[in-house]
Amino acid sequence: MALLTPRDLENLSLQLEESDATIKRVTGLDVRGICEELYGTRPGAQKIGIIPITSGEGVIGNFASSLLFIAQYFGLEGTITEHPDITGYYEAVSQGADIILMADDHMFVAHNLRNRKIVSNHVATGVIYAEIASRFREASSKDILVIGLGKVGYAGAAHLVKKGFNVYACDPNREFLDKAVKELGINPYCREDRKRFSMVLEATPNPDTISEGMIEERCLVSTPGIPCGLPPEIGKKYRVDLVMEPLVIGVASMLYSVI
Ligand code: NAI
Ligand code: 0TF
């Protein structure tokens, strides 16, 4: 799995400002508004304890400080523990943290110690990017394409099915595709179908996953994927609205979902 780099997390506030402006223009709500409607929650007096984790590839520069920025941006009080790992966990709980944020190379979780809700970044990210795609004000139908049915894409597809959308999906991993067809009832999609979409959730770690025949002009592509799956020249030619950001939107979804 490709991990975030300190460079991905540079200028996070500017990246957020740009995505939020696009989200507001295409859906009518900003990230905060979408999270409030999606989860029916609002940040209150909860304290966020952010614990750096050294296992695997170790601590990522700018990661903990980015989480602190996000917590504060959404009106929550946050602290980064002085120590990492178990000592940091002890420190956060002793200092009265209500919600713990921590990540190793495989799992990134928000755990509310008061109401016991826990969520993974994969699920929260899939759900919010799917929600954003599904709120496209200029959508031509209720058909929506999900590209990639891994941890993030599957959660997004499940959310869209639950919301009553006609979900089409593709993944070269046949097992993942069959599982989604069987469990969620989605429609398998292949390029040869020549069907085009005005709403797309892209959730792969690969570039160039979107080709010309898949999208309508002036469509919305909502993607947490790093790098971006939409080739810039296609984005320009089809005047695509693109929502893509490396951390804030997914973490906002994590926080609102456990509050
Ligand atoms: P994953 O590895 O579990 O799933 C990716 C899926 O994409 C796989 O099933 C793979 O077969 C499929 N895929 C690859 N190429 C494809 C193509 N051309 N067409 C269709 N499907 C294709 O990855 P995961 O955890 O679901 O993450 C997806 C992406 O989202 C990664 O780039 C990850 O770094 C990123 N991510 C971003 C977050 C954010 O906040 N922006 C949060 C979490 C993940
Ligand atoms: O890089 C990742 C995920 C993040 C998804 C959010 N976009 N792709 N996970 C590794 C996080 C490791 C954090 C590290 N252990 C630390 O600094 O605590």
Q: pLDDT confidence of 192, banded at 50, 70, 90?
A: confident
Provide φ and ψ at 218, rounded to 5°. 60, 35
Determine which of 1-15, 56-70, 122-136 has the lowest per-residue pLDDT on average. Answer: 1-15
Give the range among 1-5, 61-65, 117-121 with minimum mean pLDDT.
1-5
The CA–CA distances, whole Å, from 70 to 22, 50, 227 equal: 19, 11, 22
Is the pLDDT score of 12 beyond 90?
yes
Distance of alpha carbon 201 from alpha carbon 223, whole angstroms:
6
Cα separation, 170 vs 41, in Å, equals 33
pLDDT at 208 over 90: yes
Predicted pLDDT at 27: 98
Nearest residue by C-alpha to atom 38 in ligand 1: 224
108-112 and 215-223 strand pairing: unpaired
Closest ligand, as measured to the CA of 4: 2
Indicate whether 218 pLDDT > 80.
yes
Q: Does residue 193 register a pLDDT over 80? A: yes
* Predicted local distance difference test score (pLDDT) of residue 194: 86
Is residue 1 predicted with pLDDT exceeding 80? no
Mean pLDDT, residues 18-32: 97
Q: Would you call 105 helix, strand, or coil by DSSP?
A: coil
C-alpha 206 to ligand 2 mean position (Å) = 18
Confidence of residue 122 (pLDDT cuts 50, 70, 90): very high
Which tokens is 182 given? 């069987």
Q: Is the CB of 51 under 6 A from ligand 2?
A: no
Which sequence spans correspond to the domains of the chain?
Answer: 6-121+250-258, 123-245
Q: Is 169 in the pocket of ligand 2 (CB under 6 A)?
A: no
Which residue minimizes the CA distance to atom 3 of ligand 1? 150
Topology of domain 123-245, CATH? Rossmann fold (3.40.50)
176 CA distance to ligand 1 middle (Å) = 12
Confidence of residue 191 (pLDDT cuts 50, 70, 90): confident
- Report cis status (omega within 30 of 0) of the bond before 227: yes
Atom of ligand 1 nearest to the CA of 208: 18
Q: Is the CB of 53 under 6 A from ligand 2?
A: yes
Q: Is the pLDDT of residue 256 over 80?
A: yes
CA of 158 to the centre of ligand 2 (A): 24
Domain 6-121+250-258 is of which CATH architecture? 3-Layer(aba) Sandwich (3.40)
87, 105, 119, 223, best to mutate for ligand 2 pocket (most atoms within 8 Å of CB): 105
Please, what is the Cα angle at 110 between 22 and 242, to 5 degrees? 15
- What average pLDDT does this structure show over 82-104? 98
Three-state SS string across 174-207, please? HHHHHHHHHHHCCEECCHHHCCCEEEEEECCCCC
Mean pLDDT for the chain overall: 97
User: How far is the CA of 229 from the CAs of 51, 107, 153, 207, 211, in angstroms?
Assistant: 31, 23, 13, 4, 9
Same-fold call for 6-121+250-258 versus 123-245: yes
Residue 92 confidence (pLDDT): 98
- The finding on whether 205 has its CB within 6 A of some atom of ligand 1 is yes
The C-alpha atoms of residue 131 and residue 32 are separated, in whole angstroms, by 13
78 CB within 6 A, ligand 1:
no
Of 193 and 30, the structure prediction assigns the larger pLDDT to 30
Q: What share of the chain in percent tops pLDDT 90?
A: 97
Say if residue 237's pLDDT is above 90: yes
